[in-house]
Amino acid sequence: MAKSFLGKLTLYWCDECGTPVLGKKCSCGAETRQVQVTPPGDIRPAFQADIDHINKLYRSFFGSDLIPENHIAVLNKIPDKDRMEEVVMGGAVVCAFRYLPEEKRWEILPRTHAALYSKPEKGFVIADDGAIESIQSGSSLLAPGLVDIHPDVKDGDEVLILDRAGNCIGAGRSRVNAADAVKMERGQVVRTRKAGQGVCIPKESTWEKAVESNGIVLKNMETEAVNFVKSVKSKNPDLFASVSYSGGKDSLATLLIVQKAIGKVPIIFSDTGLEFPETYKNIEEVVRKYDLEIIKTGAGDSFWNNMEIQGPPSVDARWCCSVCKLNPVRDLIKENWGECLSFIGQRKYESLARMKSPRVWRNFKVQVQLSASPIQHWTALHVFLYLFQEKAPYNELYERRIDRIGCFMCPSSDIATFETIKSDYPDLWQVWESKLEDYREKNDLPESWAVNFEWRKRGETDDTSSYS
């Protein structure tokens, strides 16, 4: 899929500290080196649940864990049909993993650097020393260069290519079963992938150390954001100021910045009635910790009533945002202040639309709200490091492999996330599946429309619509 450049690629690595750094120099004084990740580069920490998931996948392919204890891993979501993320350790991409919706399974795509952390116990082939140079230059492993192959390798499996000494010299996809490979005299055994860029230097470290390493970067980002808030407020002194709070990391970071810039302001929470339990818990915790006034809007049964008429929201028809959030907020502002200034946790690395958005704007559906984004230029890793530094109570969902905080059935979520939600929140998901089934039956839609998540996209014309 096409690369999406939404901003500078900001990930660097300090080999002295063994930490990711969002700048060219670590706070320890050492120069850093840039890590080559796939754009857009909205990098984030790998939490323990992420690590457990990756290690489980890696074990199923190669027989051993990839990520050791006391090592930092950074994840980078990249464009793919559903969900795909790169895993960065030691200053290099060591593998990627992706979800295959049609097959309902995950797949690991290793790079040679992975072998620095984990010796494969299966899923490998051994090449003759005479083939090393050609394999490292990107050529496929051919039958004459094959010395051995693990007996479990099947056609289409991801494999690591080792030399006779056990060093990893390449990675790719097997073109044959092991039983056939050992009989071949010619032909392709493994189609290699382009070798990973950069140097990988494994070193133990912690996220506490990473916060220290990024101390200068975080201070500079905070100062710029605080000055931005002060400037916007000074230009609009008569507007009632607030923070739009969703229960997510970005609005929490924005709240902290605004408090440092202009003191306490109320938070506005648009309760759609479709939030995760952890989100309501987080909002209560934040209000209590920072002694805040909270102003809520409620959507009532608006979502379900509209769904009966319009069908479920989709990526290209998100009527839910207007009905459940924008319209209630607009009405709240009109009734209470006439107009207001809201600081919002929008970031350009989230999407092309947000990258193109001005930093100060008015939504055409909520003209009475002047919106401003203090953290527009931050990546997700900037946000998390800042929250770690400030010891701020972020939403527990991030530690459960759910990185989009909002409505539990948001059509913008990928299918991989839906499968996680379905597993972890069966009661919530049962409600949604029941509503989908009611709508499907009333509108004579095929079973695949619900089962294969086709409701998520309507298409630009009837020919491409899942509703036709």
Give, for 89, the enclosing helix (H) or strand (E).
strand 84-89
Which residue matches tokens 């409505």?
A: 407
Residue 196 is predicted with a pLDDT of: 66
Residue 465 is predicted with a pLDDT of: 30
Percent of the chain with pLDDT over 70: 97
H-assigned helices in 15-86: 48-62
Domains 42-192 and 214-403 share a fold: no
Could you report the per-residue pLDDT of 368-378, keeping only the tens digit for each? 999 999 999 99
Identify the band that residue 462 occupies on the pLDDT scale cut at 50, 70 and 90: very low
Identify the band that residue 463 occupies on the pLDDT scale cut at 50, 70 and 90: very low
Give φ, ψ of 216 to 5 degrees: -70, -45
Q: Is 206 left (phi over 0), alpha (psi -120 to 50) or beta?
A: beta
Residue 423 is predicted with a pLDDT of: 96
Token pair belonging to 39: 């754009």
d(CA 55, CA 273): 35
Average pLDDT (70-77) is: 98
Residue 9 is predicted with a pLDDT of: 84
Cβ–Cβ < 8 Å for 349, 5:
no
Question: Which CB contacts under 8 angstroms, 24+ apart, belong to 176-182?
Answer: 177/153, 178/149, 178/150, 178/151, 178/152, 178/153, 178/154, 179/151, 180/155, 181/125, 181/143, 181/146, 181/149, 181/153, 182/146, 182/149
In the chain, where the domains are located:
42-192, 214-403
Taking the CA atoms of 419, 420, 421 and 424 in sequence, report the sign of the dihedral they define: positive
β strands within 336-402, DSSP E: 340-343, 360-363, 366-372
Domain 214-403: what homologous superfamily? HUPs (3.40.50.620)
Residue 233 has pLDDT above 80, yes or no: yes
Could you report the per-residue pLDDT of 247-295, keeping only the tens digit for each? 999 999 999 999 999 999 999 999 999 999 999 999 999 999 999 999 9
Cβ–Cβ < 8 Å for 77, 83:
yes
How high is the mean pLDDT of the chain?
A: 94
pTM surpassing 0.85? yes
Q: Indicate the residue type of 402.
A: I
Q: By mean pLDDT, which of 71-75, 107-111, 197-201, 374-378 is the weakest?
A: 197-201
Average pLDDT (175-188) is: 95
Residue 132 is predicted with a pLDDT of: 95
d(CA 360, CA 117): 45
Greater confidence (458 vs 110) lies with 110
Could you report the per-residue pLDDT of 395-411, keeping only the tens digit for each? 999 999 999 899 999 99
Q: How many CA atoms lie within 13 A of 434 on its CB side?
A: 7
Pick the CATH number of 42-192 from 3.10.400.20, 1.10.10.60, 3.90.920.10, 3.50.20.10: 3.10.400.20
Greater confidence (204 vs 9) lies with 204
Average pLDDT (163-189) is: 96
Identify the band that residue 464 occupies on the pLDDT scale cut at 50, 70 and 90: very low
Greater confidence (65 vs 461) lies with 65
d(CA 23, CA 27): 10
Which residue matches tokens 């074990």?
A: 59
DSSP letters, 124-170, are EEEE-GGGHHHHHTTPPEEGGGEEEE-TT--TT-EEEEE-TTS-EEE
